[in-house]
Amino acid sequence: MEEFKRQQIVYTAMRIFKEKGYFAASMQDIAEACGMAKGSIYKVFPSKEDLFTGIFVEVHRTFFEEARALDRTLRLEGHPPKEILRRKIVFQLQFMLENYFFTSEFKDLPITSNDNFLHEWRKKRADLLAMHHECFHEAYGEPIVPYLGDTVAIFRGMLKEYLAHAVQAVIAVPMADLGGFLTDRIDAIVGDLISSRAEPVLKASSAYFNDINPLDSSTRQINIEAFLKFVAVKIEELPQPARIREDLREVIDLLQRELEQPKPSGTLLRVYITFLDTVSDLKPYVHQFSLMLNHALTQYDK
């Protein structure tokens, strides 16, 4: 009975949130729609944030459950890998379109600062990212492995933009046709990445950690060190006298050494960055490097 009551509240609240929006929907509205006292709702969900989080969890539980069922069916039917990929993309488009309020639109709501919601959101992101990696790996095999991070990032960007257009009725394309369009575009991109042997921008592991926890310190440190090596290479290409290049190399070494300290000095790091920024040809790279260090510098100064 308790589970039945919880499900009744969740599905009723889902409808009310869609109709009225997050701010206008009240717990009293939901209680009346459920035919319950408001106190009964609060016994199951102590706050509106907890109720929205419960809906978010239920929506994505349904999504992954249906995605697994679709995968089993497609395998049993013996479809080729690219057709399986297309069907999975169409499924995700259709599901997210029908549940857009709980899969995308929430990003502008204050719920995103709720700790319980953030915990569930990160779990969902991890599961969705793993699913996308698996989908593309199965469709293209081992040749795509170096490019999984980039492929997933490109696909997710396309999915987000086209879904937003579909929700706003800017486009009137059936999701089956849009899924075919996106599958063909991804196929062309993956084919080019593999045939050209392009240097990957996103490693799969980095994309995974950055998606789940943008503030992951070890991943951030790896990326900072990699970019610092890139700047060092650019210094060697500068049309500057050997003496200036030597000074710049020395500053890069000092930066590297400081970053290796248990608690680097934010002041010293800023001094080194300011010195590098005096060279006009390095400015774009130094500014990007500064952005990468931004959060780190804040942490070091605490």
Residue 208: pLDDT band with limits 50, 70, 90: very low
pLDDT of residue 211: 47
Determine which of 26-35, 135-144, 220-229 has the lowest per-residue pLDDT on average. Answer: 220-229
In the predicted model, what is the mean pLDDT of residues 189-197? 96
Neighbours of 108 (CB within 10 A): 9
* Angstrom distance (rounded) from CA 276 to CA 238: 12
Amino acid identity, position 17: F
Residue 217: pLDDT band with limits 50, 70, 90: low
Burial class (CB in 10 A: 0-12, 13-18, 19+), 41: buried
Tens of pLDDT, residue by residue over 139-178, are: 999 999 999 999 999 999 999 999 999 888 777 788 999 9
pLDDT of residue 59: 94
Q: For a pLDDT cut of 70, what percent of the chain falls above it?
A: 91
pLDDT of residue 215: 47
Tens of pLDDT, residue by residue over 241-290, are: 899 999 999 999 999 888 888 888 888 888 999 999 888 888 888 888 88
Burial class (CB in 10 A: 0-12, 13-18, 19+), 89: buried
| pLDDT over 60 at 68, yes or no | yes
Residue bearing the bigger pLDDT, 273 or 292 = 273
CA angle (137, 139, 140) in 5-degree steps: 70
pLDDT of residue 297: 58
DSSP helix, strand, coil percent of the chain (3-state; round to 5): 80, 0, 20
Give the closest residue to 139 by CA, choosing from 41, 71, 237.
71
Residue 302: pLDDT band with limits 50, 70, 90: very low
